[in-house]
Amino acid sequence: MHPYELSSALYIGGQWLGTKGRDALNVLDPATGRPIGNVPVATTEDLDRALEAAQRGFRSWSKVAPDERAAVLNRTAALIRERADHLAALATREQGKPLAEAKAEALASAGLLEFHAGEAVRIYGRVLPRPGGTRSLVLQQPVGPVAAFCAWNFPILNPIRKLSPAIAAGCPIILKPSEETPATAVAVMRCFEDAGLPGDVAQLVFGVPDDISRRLLASPVTRKLSFTGSVAVGKHLLRLAADTVMKTTMELGGHSPVLVFDDCDVDTTLDLLVAHKFRNAGQVCIAPTRFHVQQGIYERFVQGFAERARNLQVGNGFEERTRMGPMANPRRPEAIGTLVDDAVDAGARLVTGGQRGSRPGFFFEPTVLADVPLLAKAMNEEPFGPMALIRPFATEQEAIEEANRLPYGLAAFCFTENGRRQNRLADDLEAGMVAINTVRLLWGDAPFGGVKDSGLGSEDGPEGIAAHTITKAVHIA
């Protein structure tokens, strides 16, 4: 048996529940395509029990002192660090990313828990001045039970991004991670359990996504929806959430533009962008994707990008030399292949890649396309894969207009040494996050979220905890 042969369970009311008496779904190894475990499908009765537990949890956890909530998060962070190698191996086994990327994800998750622990004791209200002995208070109180749904691309970080701010704010949570990476989510939940989090505060369920979302969001128990995933599914969940007018945080898809000006350091820019584009095989909502490059350096940029992409070692995430692993499921290589063919048919120049390769598993070559027409599907739909789309531009205004052309607005990247231009770009780009001469957007103390079709609200930072509170005004005469 492989040391990471996988089995998973539901966690409801402090109890672990396996596949006995329940349907089960297979979990596939993306490096081979073979089954490596299973995950139980929650029944309607399981979901109702989870809602009952969350309701009990709200009555108790919302009254727990902030420093006690912070202590649980800090203990969980310590366990995540202690078990980082094990968590990383599970994530690589289920999702495919290189082991080093998975371990970095675990350590970043621990840092986020520690930040939220610090913020748990800083959920402040305010006192408003009033004449004649009247006092007005503004209170921030936990919103109530949270239904949270997250994607498979970051199987350690995504669950913690949902659990951590809810617990810090005093809210119980029912979490549905991806059925494609369940064992990693189970291992994360065990860290919370072992850190002393009461069983009614956090529930873990798997199953048929539409069945689960309809049941949880229709319940009057649920007072907040938090979702990470595609725009289409996010809009569907928003419609369900509207029936009970619940609070929402939606981290939806992106199609990040990259504006590269001719005054940048081209080689340094390429080194940063190529590594970031093919991180997690491009399966990242903030991945740089639409590369708009100023004409003076365009061909140099295309060739340099392609050369670096060709030199990336693609393989099993457990192999030390691997810099890009397989895609996470059999749907993704097929989707990327279709987009590549469409772009080439539309007139794009295939510079490198474009093939699935001969090995088993869900692999696709790092792919670079130049001169990509705007009518190509990949220029209008989020590729979510190892596919770089490069186009030239002449003027700054042309680049900004092209960057803002789509309904997406999650992240944007810019590379220029002109300080005034940096300020203009920061103002004019329609994105929730803008990175200038860097690719890093994830910081525990900074908000993470998009605008337009890319979402509502923010995760991380103080804003992530504020999204789990309601504002109450109290006037005392």
Measured in residues, the chain has a length of 477
CA atoms within 13 A on the CB side of 407: 7
> Is 285 known to be catalytic?
yes
Q: Which of 191, 264, 285, 414 is catalytic?
A: 285
Q: 3: pLDDT confidence band, cut at 50, 70 and 90?
A: very low
181/273 same-domain check? no
86/136 same-domain check? yes
323/438 same-domain check? yes
226/301 same-domain check? no
The string over 328-351, giving b where at least 16 C-beta atoms fall within 10 Å of a residue's C-beta and e elsewhere, is bbeebbebbbebbebbeebebebb
Per cent of the chain over pLDDT 90 is 96
Domain annotation covers residue 168: yes
178/61 same-domain check? yes
Domain annotation covers residue 150: yes
Got the DSSP string for 74-102?
HHHHHHHHHTHHHHHHHHHHHH---HHHH
Q: 2: pLDDT confidence band, cut at 50, 70 and 90?
A: very low
Cβ(466)–Cβ(137) under 8 Å? Answer: no
Domain annotation covers residue 1: no
Measured CA distances, 372 to 245, 368, 369, 381 (Å) = 42, 10, 7, 13
| pLDDT tens-digit series, residues 28-66 | 999 999 999 999 999 999 999 999 999 999 999 999 999
Q: Which pLDDT belongs to residue 299?
A: 98
| pLDDT tens-digit series, residues 267-308 | 999 999 999 999 999 999 999 999 999 999 999 999 999 999
Closest among 31, 159, 39, 158 to 95, alpha carbons compared: 31
Q: Which of 193, 251, 382, 459 is catalytic?
A: 251
80 pLDDT higher than 90: yes
Beta-carbon neighbour count of residue 460 at 10 Å? 23
What's the total number of domains in the chain? 2
Name residues whose C-beta falls within 8 Å of residue 82's C-beta, 6 or more positions apart in sequence: none
Give the integer Cα–Cα distance in Å for 279 and 295.
27
Here the tokens at position 411 are 């992240």
Domain annotation covers residue 359: yes
| pLDDT tens-digit series, residues 122-158 | 999 999 998 888 999 999 999 999 999 999 999 999 9
Residue with tokens 């365009």: 298
Q: Which pLDDT belongs to residue 142?
A: 98
Q: Average pLDDT of 218-242?
A: 97
For residue 99, the domain's CATH number is: 3.40.605.10
Cβ(365)–Cβ(326) under 8 Å? Answer: no
3-state SS record for 290-315: EEEEEHHHHHHHHHHHHHHHHCCCEC
156/238 same-domain check? yes
Q: pLDDT averaged over the chain?
A: 96
242/286 same-domain check? no
381/423 same-domain check? yes
For residue 430, the domain's CATH number is: 3.40.309.10
The DSSP element (H or E) to which 346 belongs, if any, is helix 331-346
Collapsed DSSP state (helix, strand, coil) of residue 348: coil
Beta-carbon neighbour count of residue 226 at 10 Å? 28
Beta strand residue intervals within 111-211, DSSP E: 126-128, 135-142, 146-149, 173-176, 202-204
268/215 same-domain check? no
349/321 same-domain check? yes
The DSSP element (H or E) to which 427 belongs, if any, is helix 419-428
The DSSP element (H or E) to which 35 belongs, if any, is strand 35-40
Domain annotation covers residue 44: yes
The DSSP element (H or E) to which 231 belongs, if any, is helix 231-242
Here the tokens at position 133 are 């002995």
Domain annotation covers residue 448: no
35/110 same-domain check? yes
Tell me the whole-structure pTM to 2 decimals. Answer: 0.95
226 pLDDT higher than 80: yes
| pLDDT tens-digit series, residues 352-383 | 999 997 789 999 999 999 999 999 999 999 99
Beta-carbon neighbour count of residue 424 at 10 Å? 16
Q: Which pLDDT belongs to residue 358?
A: 78
The DSSP element (H or E) to which 370 belongs, if any, is strand 367-370
Q: Which pLDDT belongs to residue 5?
A: 53
Domain hosting 77: range is 6-252+453-476
> Is 94 known to be catalytic?
no
Tell me the sheet residues that pair with 128.
136
Collapsed DSSP state (helix, strand, coil) of residue 459: strand
Cβ(289)–Cβ(256) under 8 Å? Answer: yes
Q: Which pLDDT belongs to residue 404?
A: 98
70/158 same-domain check? yes
Q: 4: pLDDT confidence band, cut at 50, 70 and 90?
A: very low
